[in-house]
Amino acid sequence: MIQIVIVGVGGQGTLLASKILGHIAVASGLDTKVSEVHGMSQRGGSVITHVRISKEGETVYAPLVEQGGADAVLAFERLEALRALPYLKEGGTMILNNQKILPMPVITGAAKYPEDALETIKSSTKTVAVDALSMAVECGSPRAANVVMLGVLSKFLPFAPELYEDAIRALIKPRFIDMNLAAFAKGRALAD
Amino acid sequence: MKELMLGNEAIVRGAYEAGVRVVSSYPGTPSTEMTECAVKYDGIYAEWAPNEKVALEVGIGAAVAGARTMCCMKHVGLNVAADPLFTVSYTGINAGLVIVVADDPGMHSSQNEQDSRNYAKAAHIPMLEASDSAECKSMVKRAFEISEEYDTPVLLRVTTRIAHARSLVELGEREERPLKDLEKNPRKYVMMPGFAKGRHVVVEQRENKLLADCNGFIDLNKLELSGKELGVVCSGAAYQYVKEALPRASVLKLGMVYPLPFELVEQLSDYVEKLVVIEDGEPFFEEAIKAKGFAATGKEKTGVQGELFARKIAHLFAGAPDPGPQETQNIPGRPPVLCPGCPHRGLFYVLHKLGVRVSADIGCYTLGAMAPLNAVDTVVCMGASIGMAHGGEKARGRGFAEKTVALIGDSTFMHSGVTGLINAVYNESTGVVIIADNSTTGMTGHQENPTTGKNLKGDIAPCIDLVKLCESLGIKRVSIADPFNLKEFTALVKAELAADELSVIIAKRPCALLKCVKPQPALHITEDCIKCGACMQLGCPAIVDQGNGPSIDKSLCNGCGLCPKVCPKGAIKGGAEE
């Protein structure tokens, strides 16, 4: 079973990455479950998506990845990466967009943003920290940051890059396809 | 061809294939996508009703008129629809009627954790529960068959983890269902005491028949005999966790969760050494199974709060290590916030400054309770704000009304605030009602409502005029103001609080996330800043202070222009200014 957790801040566009992974699972004839968050937390709160993809012939029962079960965490924000750290299994990979968005309890002074988040993560697991936002801007729009991240993740998963490209073509509006293909290639190249 | 579908989408696919013609609903997480999806199918008429009670009444009307019909709502919405629900159980239907209810164990986006299975029992209506998207599709079709065969509405329950999880669904063709004949049958459809007594007999007979028959519903209730040590009764998401956590256990997977197939429970009980019930929410199965004399346990371990998950079940029932809480500890939380540019921010800033008590309601503006706005005092349920403010005035007198506002959104006002306002007029409230009109239903993701001028399809629709509506009730003091004009808005609220009669203020400014609202260039803070912290009091996620005074995060700011208005030094520049 391949298990991936995608985390970020509501509004960052975390749902597209999980849709692409789900599309690839279906195209590969594998069983899959993708669990999303809708509603209240999408208003700037912590959001988490769970993706589980079977091996050949296996059934995916639960919709959720358990703590200690994820092969990779795709984190769109540093604090959310830290929060999701317990989801990684031993030897799992943290792929982290090195962006910092302060939550309201930090803004009001009720809590402190853990400044050593990146160090804590790096010291406990294999980590790829990416400046996905500026890489996406180089491709044409900051909105493609999620696909840059997915490009990085793709190096750690057993699916051919063509499958991602097909999924991007199938799921993204025609006029944004080229930009997102470029973003994917950039992310994938970075992981080399 | 298999497709990856949300549980909610699969339910609608099943309804489409079952020949459904009418869908009427009110949005509410985690149920909203069903109706949004239904409107995209040819052959289905779908609408947003102003509330769930109306939606179900529309549903009953359509079903009695001969069309297969579905109504979708969240668990608390079923409370609103409970009145027609209990009596449509008596009348029965003509063409199939399925009511889909989405529960939210863990309260991801709800004000309580109620378990809707209790409604099935209380209203004597059969209920099915799906455990993945494929079942969402197949069960809604089965629900329509049961509905017509037994002449009963059928409830279909999902929970957040099923409604909002994508899994594989095999698509089928739509089976066209001609309208059933319209019959005049007052003994069946006019529920006054004389006729209802006769129907109550039918309800009891129907329930007894289903109680016996459901033991044979092998497509719904599945007995998976395996290890003899442990037998588990479960349904829905819990079934999926049980399959992972307890792979050797024998399982009775309930697809029909009311009434229960006690013969199957007995078979499982006879087969295994120990019988347990693993269910999210209330001990609904467990109490029923125990009442039949079976020795079963479960709730004393799983508890009634929050969600189950596989490792918790492995720990509680198979001695695996304690996984601890599912949430990571000792890390600053990230609760949802009002978005940058949110029209409610100006409103809450004013109300907080005035120090008034805010009797608020269900919507994005519930978030006004959070620091630093700290402006909201009470929130109970959809529409409660106006009645509660009125109640406070009747309990404590005019002095209370002088320092209190009722705050309700446009969609929530249409849902169930109107009746509260009528009561306030009729029983001579002197309070202030603020309708926060952001031209959409924000929290659930931008659904149209009777005040937006568009329908579910996005077509132009008649638009309820809030001012005329309030005036027609006899309210003399009705005004419209932009909550971003802080001075004018403050003066208006003060004047209305001082007035010794009921008033309504419509705080009108569109949701910042609507496409019609064009983001302006980001603002920035100049050297003139004296670090007084006034802008920080707005609770805007784009204004941060990392110890060197406030700064604006350009990637979040949408240039709404509110913060320059609270800056005493004029140190915030940019945005829409010339």
Top-level CATH class of B523-574?
alpha beta
Is the CB of residue A65 less than 8 Å from the CB of residue A32?
no
The CA distance from B184 to B327, in Å, is 57
Neighbours of B151 (CB within 10 A): 15
Closest CA to B345 of B489, B519, B479: B489
Does A137 contact B at CB distance below 8 Å? no
CA-atom Rg of chain B in angstroms: 26
Q: Which residues of A touch B6 (CB under 8 A)?
A: 36
Q: Which residues of B touch A40 (CB under 8 A)?
A: 29, 108-109, 336, 443
Contact: A42, B334; criterion CB under 8 Å: no
A25, A40, A133: residue with CB nearest B336: A40
- A30 DSSP assignment: -
Interface with chain A: mutation pick from B110, B158, B166, highest number of A CBs within 10 Å: B166
B109, B311, B545: residue with CB nearest A39: B109
Residue A12 confidence (pLDDT) = 82
- B19 DSSP assignment: T
Mean pLDDT of the region A117-137 = 95
A36, A61, A105: residue with CB nearest B164: A36
The CA distance from B566 to B554, in Å, is 19
Mean pLDDT of the region A165-187 = 96
**Measured between CA atoms, how close is A37 to chain B, in angstroms?**
7
- The per-residue DSSP string of B22-61 comes to EEEE---TTTHHHHHHHTTSTT-EEEE-SSHHHHHHHHHH
A35, A38, A44: residue with CB nearest B339: A44
Q: How do residues B303-360 score in pLDDT, each as one tens digit? A: 999 999 999 999 999 999 998 777 777 899 999 999 999 999 999 999 999 999 999 9
Does A106 contact B at CB distance below 8 Å? yes
Closest CA to B358 of B308, B310, B400: B400
The CA distance from B241 to A143, in Å, is 35
Tokens 């899994």: give the residue.
B167
Instruction: Give the residue from chain B lying closest to A41, CA to CA.
Output: B336
Is the Cα torsion angle B40, B44, B47, B49 positive or negative in sign? negative
Q: Where in chain B do CATH 3.40.50.920 domains reside? A: 222-318
Is the CB of residue B398 less than 8 Å from the CB of residue B430?
yes
Is the CB of residue B81 less than 8 Å from the CB of residue B45?
no
Tokens 């319209």: give the residue.
B182
Strand bridging mode B165-170 / B2-6: antiparallel
Residue B578 confidence (pLDDT) = 38
Average pLDDT in chain B: 96
Q: Cis ω on the peptide bond leading into residue B372 (within 30° of 0)?
A: yes
Q: Calculate what percentage of chain A has a pLDDT beyond 90.
A: 86
Q: How do residues B100-156 score in pLDDT, each as one tens digit? A: 999 999 998 899 999 999 999 999 999 999 999 999 999 999 999 999 999 999 999
Is the CB of residue A85 less than 8 Å from the CB of residue A124?
yes
Portion 144-163 of A in contact with B at CB < 8 A: none
Angle, CA B437 vertex, CA B431 and CA B440 arms, to 5°: 145
Instruction: Assign domain B222-318 to its CATH architecture.
Output: 3-Layer(aba) Sandwich (3.40)
Tokens 């999924």: give the residue.
A167
Instruction: Give the residue from chain B lying closest to A117, CA to CA.
Output: B331
Tokens 């005329």: give the residue.
B468
Contact: B370, A67; criterion CB under 8 Å: no
Does A141 contact B at CB distance below 8 Å? no
The CA distance from B365 to B359, in Å, is 11
The H-assigned helical ranges of A65-155 are 78-84, 104-107, 117-124, 132-139, 145-154
C-alpha B89: how far from its chain's center?
23
What are the distances in angstroms from CA B4 to CA A43, A173, B42? 26, 19, 21
Contact: B29, A32; criterion CB under 8 Å: no
Structure tokens, A119: 């160090």
Q: Where in chain B do CATH 3.40.50.970 domains reside? A: 2-216, 343-508
**Measured between CA atoms, how close is B340 to chain A, in angstroms?**
9
Residue B325 confidence (pLDDT) = 75
Structure tokens, B348: 């809450």
- CATH superfamily of the B343-508 domain: Thiamin diphosphate (ThDP)-binding fold, Pyr/PP domains (3.40.50.970)
pLDDT tens, per residue, chain B with 578 residues: 789 999 999 999 999 999 999 999 999 999 999 999 999 999 999 999 999 999 999 999 999 999 999 999 999 999 999 999 999 999 999 999 999 999 999 998 899 999 999 999 999 999 999 999 999 999 999 999 999 999 999 999 999 999 999 999 999 999 999 999 999 999 999 999 999 999 999 999 999 999 999 999 999 999 999 999 999 999 999 999 999 999 999 999 999 999 999 999 999 999 999 999 999 999 999 999 999 999 999 999 999 999 999 999 999 999 999 987 777 778 999 999 999 999 999 999 999 999 999 999 999 999 999 999 999 999 999 999 999 999 999 999 999 999 999 999 999 999 999 999 999 999 999 999 999 999 998 888 899 999 999 999 999 999 999 999 999 999 999 999 999 999 999 999 999 999 999 999 999 999 999 988 999 999 999 999 999 999 999 999 999 998 889 999 998 999 999 999 999 999 999 876 53
The CA distance from A110 to B70, in Å, is 46
Does A102 contact B at CB distance below 8 Å? yes
Is the CB of residue B204 less than 8 Å from the CB of residue B108?
no
User: Which domains can be identified in chain A, with CATH numbers?
Assistant: 2-190 (3.40.920.10)
Tokens 């509330």: give the residue.
B51
Structure tokens, B358: 């805010």
- CATH superfamily of the B2-216 domain: Thiamin diphosphate (ThDP)-binding fold, Pyr/PP domains (3.40.50.970)
Structure tokens, B210: 């289903």
CA-atom Rg of chain A in angstroms: 16
Chain A with chain B: Cβ pairs closer than 8 A: 163
